[in-house]
Structure 1
Amino acid sequence: MIEIDGSYGEGGGQLVRTAVALSAVTGKEIKVTNIRKNRPNPGLKQQHLKSLETAAKICGAQVSGLFPGSSELFFSPIEIKGGKYDIDIGTAGSITLLLQCIMPALPFAKEKVELTIRGGTDVAWSPTVDYLQHITLRALEQLGYVGSVTLRERGYYPRGGGNVSAIFKPCKLHGFHFRKTEENEKFGEKLVGEEGFEEESQKRKIIGVSHTSNLPAHVPARQAEAAESLLLEAGYGSRIDVQSHESFSTGSGITLWTGYCGGSALGERGLPAEKVGRRAAEEIIAELRAGAAVDMHLADQLIPYMALAGNSSYTVRELTLHAATNIWVTEQFLNVKFRIEEKEGLFEVSVDG
């Protein structure tokens, strides 16, 4: 049995999600203690429970400690199975964080896994569904990962109601070295003007989506316009799709991406749409100006996959506590050792194997 101190490093839900995923892969039972010990509301929350319940179903695990506020978890996997699963997180629990709990294990399933998940697609403190589709999964493809996520309906805080379908197939992971942004130009899309001529820009193009539900159509347009204006000032062309829907929950957001870098922001009551757009633009501009291979959010998500694939690396402008914690957890399960070096103002993270 592997014992994990849930208060180590970042000490949040991600530590538990990574530990459970790698427990499923390795077949090693785990005991996680002090779960979210230093948080205002320690222990497991409802959305953590749904993630862990789903992981247990997929790998036939024996599990205890699954209740709200639990500070200790026992998880003993048997076999990663395929099949179809219908999951309702309830309210606006993050769909992308639930997927983080199971995705590293799914290449090792006996057959493909098909999921229908209801919950939050665009909620605070988690990757947006657009980020997952256009950045995370695109990066994982380079490691041989085979999976797709389709957005059916958006769900915002606090009501949720979002709907996503996903398919993941068994696959063999392989190493990949993520290079600097300048070498990823193939991911930038060419912008074509009204007369069919390609617009010139000093730097590559940024793609995005600005969306709302149950709000006036000018809100996503203003978000997009503010983002486009700031990006243009920074020397980046952009094309941002504007979407206005009527659905179960009310909210707004914007996600921008190019290559392995992104930026996103969510609307809030009383927050002008222009500020939402600018926040997303500022985030991706900071990443692109640093010249790293991946952004800070992708950097921590990639850790378990890189360890499973072996012989992989990336550069990032800052190694977050999330990434450092994910490295520590991953090294508890797999016979790997990550190397971290500072080079030309960036952090290079690599793993052999």
Structure 2
Amino acid sequence: MLELDGSYGEGGGQILRTAIALSAITGQPLRLYNIRKGRRSEGLAPQHLKAVQTAAHITDARVDGLKLHSTELFFHPTCIHPLNGEVDIGTAGSITLLLQCILPILLHAPKSSSFTVRGGTDVEWSPSWDYFEHITLAALGQMGASVEAGLLMRGYYPEGGGVVSMKVSPSHIHISPREFERSDAPIAGNVHSFALPSHVPERIRDAAATFLMQHGHPAHIALEHTRARSVGCGITLWSGLLGACALGRRGLPAERVGRMAASQLLKEIKSGASVDVHLADQLIPYMALSGGGEFVVREITEHTRTNVWTVQHFVDVECTIERTNELYRVCMST
């Protein structure tokens, strides 16, 4: 049985999601201890619990320690089968983080999966739904993954209730190493809002577009007046495999929300990177499973280092990180 210290590196949900996914795919039983050790609320939170429950259902896994606030977990998968029906996180827990755990597994299922997920689509400390759809899935598509995703309803904090649809085709035999190259794609984006005056999303859009234009980058940013259970708004911007997002909140001026996202994206564009700092850590498990790959990123985050450490316990791959000027080239190979 493979044993991993869940407090290593980033020490949060990242190790849990990656380790469970790779345990399921490789068939290696896993003991994960010190889960989220030292966090304000240690152990499994509701969204982590649902991710492991769903992975266990997909793999007919034997699991011990599957309870709220548990800091130790035993996971023993036996097979992989498709997922159909609905996964309900039950809170505003992040849908995109749950998908980080189960999507790699479903790409290795023998048949296609078709399911919905209910929870938070646009919440703090996680990729927005638009980021997942336009950046994460675009990158996986370049590697050969076949995934269709659709937004049915937004889910903001605190009520959640967002719904997305997913269709995942078996793709593991088609996923291949990829050298991700820089793209000069035009900037696009989306501003979404619910139960707010129409001038709020308009100000977010205009502030982002003005900031980018002042730096020589025109952008086409759409407005989406959406359905949700809670008041909320946000913006996601993207250019190729570079992206940025920001959420509105009470007391935060709309103009600041727009400029936050725009300045984040501009930093990525000006760096010359091929992928942004958030996509980098998401790609690591897929690169390991495909046997290699390469990208250039402006910063190596603790999430990325933690994912590299985690995958190397399951898959026999080498990862080199080479600094060139102000960028980092990450190469993975067998």
In the superposition, the TM-score normalised over structure 1's length comes to: 0.93
Would you say how many aligned residue pairs link Structure 1 and Structure 2? Answer: 332
1:287 and 2:268 aligned: yes
Read off the aligned partner of 2:45 and give its amino acid letter: K
CA distance in 1, matches of 2:292, 2:30: 27
Shift in Å at residue 247 of structure 1? 2.8
Aligned to 1:244: 225
CA distance in 2, matches of 1:212, 1:231: 21
Shift in Å at residue 344 of structure 1? 2.5
Contact map agreement 1:83 1:111 (CA 8 A) in 2: no
Which stretches in structure 2 are left out of the alignment for 5+ residues?
Answer: none
Aligned to 1:192: none
Aligned to 1:122: 122
CA distance in 2, matches of 1:236, 1:324: 32
Task: State the SS of the aligned residue for 2:53.
Answer: helix
Aligned to 1:6: 6
Read off the aligned partner of 2:178 and give its amino acid letter: F
1:62 and 2:62 aligned: yes
Read off the aligned partner of 1:178 and give its amino acid letter: F
| Superposed CA offset, 1:34-86 (max 9, x none) | 00002111111011101110111111111111111100000000111014131
Shift in Å at residue 249 of structure 1? 1.6
Q: How does 1:191-230 map to 2 (within 5 A)?
A: 205-230=186-211
1:231 and 2:212 aligned: yes
Read off the aligned partner of 1:177 and give its amino acid letter: E
Aligned to 1:298: 279
CA distance in 1, matches of 2:258, 2:6: 36
Shift in Å at residue 281 of structure 1? 0.3
Aligned to 2:176: 174
Contact map agreement 2:119 2:161 (CA 8 A) in 1: yes
Contact map agreement 1:315 1:349 (CA 8 A) in 2: yes
Aligned to 1:18: 18
Contact map agreement 2:153 2:227 (CA 8 A) in 1: no
Aligned to 1:154: 154
Shift in Å at residue 218 of structure 1? 1.1
Contact map agreement 2:242 2:276 (CA 8 A) in 1: yes
| Superposed CA offset, 1:138-171 (max 9, x none) | 0011111111210000000111110000011101
From 223, 237, 245, the equivalent of 1:264 is 245
Aligned to 2:37: 37
Aligned to 2:316: 335
Shift in Å at residue 246 of structure 1? 4.1
Read off the aligned partner of 1:314 and give its amino acid letter: F
Q: After TM superposition, which residue ranges in structure 1, 4 or more long, deviate above 4 angstroms? A: none
Contact map agreement 2:46 2:91 (CA 8 A) in 1: no
Task: State the SS of the aligned residue for 1:228.
Answer: helix
Aligned to 2:91: 91
CA distance in 1, matches of 2:228, 2:20: 34
CA distance in 1, matches of 2:64, 2:114: 25
Read off the aligned partner of 2:272 and give its amino acid letter: G
Which stretches in structure 1 are left out of the alignment for 5+ residues?
Answer: 189-204
| Superposed CA offset, 1:170-192 (max 9, x none) | 0121011012x2xx23xx2xxxx
Task: State the SS of the aligned residue for 2:118.
Answer: strand
CA distance in 2, matches of 1:165, 1:302: 22
1:254 and 2:205 aligned: no
**Identity among equivalent pairs (%):** 50
Contact map agreement 2:83 2:106 (CA 8 A) in 1: no
CA distance in 1, matches of 2:75, 2:114: 23
Read off the aligned partner of 2:20 and give its amino acid letter: V
Aligned to 1:323: 304
Task: State the SS of the aligned residue for 1:136.
Answer: helix
Contact map agreement 2:155 2:229 (CA 8 A) in 1: yes
CA distance in 2, matches of 1:64, 1:216: 48
Task: State the SS of the aligned residue for 1:342.
Answer: strand
Aligned to 1:194: none
From 264, 270, 292, the equivalent of 1:311 is 292
CA distance in 2, matches of 1:90, 1:280: 29
